[in-house]
Amino acid sequence: MKRSGGILMPISSLPSPYGIGTLGEDARSFIRFLKEAGQSFWQILPTGPTGYGDSPYQSFSSFAGNPYLIDFDDLCRHGLLKTEEYNKIDWGKDPEKVDYYRISQERWKVLKKAVDRLIADPPGDYGAFLEKNRYWLPDYSLFMAEKNDHGGGAFSGWNKAIRLHDPETVRSERKRLSEEICYHEGVQYLFRIQWDALREFAHQNGIRLIGDVPIYVSPDSSDLWGHPELFQLSGDGSMNEVAGCPPDKFSASGQLWGNPLYDWDRMKRDGYDWWTRRIAHQFTIVDILRIDHFRGFESYYAIPGDSADARVGRWRKGPGIGFFRTIEKKLGHLNIIAEDLGYLTPDVAELVRNTGYPGMKVLLFAFDTRDTGYGYLPHSYPHNCVVYTGTHDNDTVEGWMKSAPEDCVKKASEYLALNEQEGSNWGFIRTAYESVADLAVIPLQDFLGLDDSARINVPSTTGGNWVWRTRKESISMELAGKIRHWMEITDRLPD
């Protein structure tokens, strides 16, 4: 890979008048900014419909698109909405935060009007869209219709027959809820049309998209509901063990994620068909795919399903290199980034090397004196890696400089030669750009020098995450020029 750069920012963090970033003009404007700044990539994080906690890593589907990201103005331009149907609604008072409650109360009503018009006069490619996505769309659409019918409750609380996906009950429910099923199918069509248009616009401007696939699915998802045979479940559909991470120097009780665990032996027997479809689908959306929690493919941590935290659990073997060889045999060479952060063993490092995928280096990790020896200092980087100042799970650089232990800040200041005139954030950015890493990706917040109020996510917490948004005036041509300057002098400009 040629030396290059990218910016990390979820689409939800874009400015817009309607409460959350969307796939419309502000996204196109950001792509123009990326081009002017000499960037080659936009890293966007997962794009699925968000569930509990508003996290895109706990999505209702591994295949569906997030309805919140559909742009109203673009729908209006295509005759599917009228301006007065959405521009006077209160979408939230703070332009720097997403008000998910307001959006959940109002957005579905507006989209219903657009879908009604869509279905009344469906475009010529609508039937082809439904057919192309029949592997996942019927289950997802029924799942969402059932959720609404059950007051939004998780499917673990539904009546037994539908909860266990009884075929006869599913057929009966498809008839009973056919109108709402058609609605959710229409929403997914609108998302995909807008997404494809945005991706094409990005390509026209020399920008490629880096997506993200969470290793696990949500315990409240159409994936688990529609394909229970692929997961480690008991006869009643409950989870005997769930996913997470063991205690470490950063968390005395570990991380209890609560996701269902895959039945890897069962998946291997059909050539990892579900995973093949999942990854193939993602590559129709993005150009490069970051696989989250990559170490879980070598070994994964299994926690008893009734545990209150992650202190009790056991490591179990994952599918290993055979999984990736099977996927690439079916799909060909794949542009994948391995999220190889956290507790790594020699076996995990060997798996990353054997795949040939670039791993990740996070500069903020390099200066934490509680945890050393993982190769995060730039002088130890290989070329085949992606360097970040921080990710969506880290504090911003400025937030870290204010909150990290004094000895950590001192170590960073000395190694990076930080100074007030340049600013700590630019010192970190400069070092990332100067490193030998083939790709340097910087969160937008670090370019803007924002503190922890702009942090996107604090792992293992709920509430207050995934809400940060940038202001329109912050994405300026002056900033683009400064970024481009550093791209040029570190030989990261695109050809």
Residues with active-site annotation: 292, 339, 393
- Tokens for 434, please give them: 């100067």
CA–CA distance, 180 with 261 (Å, rounded to integer): 31
In degrees and rounded to multiples of 5, residue 78 shows phi and psi of: -95, 10
Measured CA to CA in angstroms, residue 335 lies from 186, 286, 290, 392 at distances of: 31, 10, 9, 21
For 201, residues 6+ apart whose C-beta sits below 8 A from its C-beta are 28, 31
Coil, strand, or helix at residue 225? helix
Coil, strand, or helix at residue 492? coil
Coil, strand, or helix at residue 388? strand
Coil, strand, or helix at residue 111? helix
Q: DSSP letter for 1, please.
A: -
Task: Please answer whether residues 95 and 469 qualify as being in contact, where contact means their C-beta atoms are separated by less than 8 angstroms.
Answer: yes
Categorise residue 463: left if φ over 0, alpha if ψ from -120 to 50, beta otherwise. left
CA–CA distance, 347 with 329 (Å, rounded to integer): 23
CA–CA distance, 190 with 187 (Å, rounded to integer): 5
Task: Please answer whether residues 213 and 46 qualify as being in contact, where contact means their C-beta atoms are separated by less than 8 angstroms.
Answer: yes
Measured CA to CA in angstroms, residue 31 lies from 192, 273, 310, 334 at distances of: 18, 34, 41, 24
CA–CA distance, 319 with 301 (Å, rounded to integer): 13
**Residue whose entry in the numeric block shows the structure tokens 């935060």:** 97
Measured CA to CA in angstroms, residue 94 lies from 15, 98, 108, 118, 274 at distances of: 11, 8, 21, 32, 41
CA–CA distance, 209 with 99 (Å, rounded to integer): 26
Distance of CA 446 to the CA centre of its chain: 19
CA–CA distance, 210 with 337 (Å, rounded to integer): 9
